[in-house]
Amino acid sequence: ILNVEQSPQSLHVQEGDSTNFTCSFPSSNFYALHWYRWETAKSPEALFVMTLNGDEKKKGRISATLNTKEGYSYLYIKGSQPEDSATYLCALWGNRDDKIIFGKGTRLHILP
Amino acid sequence: KAGVTQTPRYLIKTRGQQVTLSCSPISGHRSVSWYQQTPGQGLQFLFEYFSETQRNKGNFPGRFSGRQFSNSRSEMNVSTLELGDSALYLCASSTGGWSEAFFGQGTRLTVV
């Protein structure tokens, strides 16, 4: 059974600083890894879908990498802005039991 | 293009009752998945439907069930409600497989 760990649980970052956090998993037996941003009072919004080892995706100031051999994905935010305050979730689509496993998220707070 | 619509948004039920939640996916999306979110647990996968067939199921008791109609709308039913079923229930639609999921705003269920 896949177990998805996200760290840190919570993060406070000064506006303008860059930051990153981690999603880790014990194996490469999955179809895809997704990153979502979940702002308070809104719905989770997809950021990236990653499938291959070495995948790198970018959307504006946010980027992500995937390393399936060592079992982690990083999400990077460059020059944090107040609107980046949200919970960032990663999720794995497993290919053994076809379950979808979400991590508990990293809660990012941007300090003015 | 209309997003994913969940109804109702809020619901209060008594222990022992049953409840039905509804999810209307984005037009053209044939996959609908359901999730439960409780404090400290993160998003837990309930089940996924694709073209009216349940394709995947999470680790929830049989009191949780669902179905999907020919227009891809989906319903989730919880019978014999327990206090621990109090949660935010999210549905998400996608084109299928591991493509990005689009989430609704959720139904907040409170069991008293």
The token duo for A31 is: 């179809």
Pairwise CB contact (< 8 Å): A101 & B45: yes
pLDDT digits (tens, 9 = 90+) for B75-101: 999 999 999 999 999 999 999 888 899
* Nearest-CA distance A81 → chain B (Å): 24
Pairing of strands B5-7, B19-24: antiparallel
| pLDDT tens for each residue of chain A, 112 residues long | 568 999 999 999 999 999 999 999 876 677 899 999 999 999 999 999 999 888 899 999 999 999 988 999 999 999 999 999 999 999 998 766 667 889 999 999 999 9
pLDDT digits (tens, 9 = 90+) for B49-69: 999 999 889 999 999 999 999
Residue A25 near residue A5, CB atoms below 8 Å: yes
CB contacts, 8 Å: B105 with chain A? 42-43
Nearest CA in chain B to A104: B42
The token duo for A78 is: 């460059």
- Number of A–B residue contacts, CB under 8 Å: 54
> Of A22, A31, A30, A28, whose CA–CA distance to A103 is shortest?
A22
The token duo for B21 is: 């939640």
Pairwise CB contact (< 8 Å): B44 & A98: no
Pairwise CB contact (< 8 Å): B97 & A31: yes
For a pLDDT cut of 90, what percent of chain B falls above it? Answer: 87
Selected for mutation to probe chain A from B43, B53, B55, B91 (highest A CB count within 10 Å) is B43
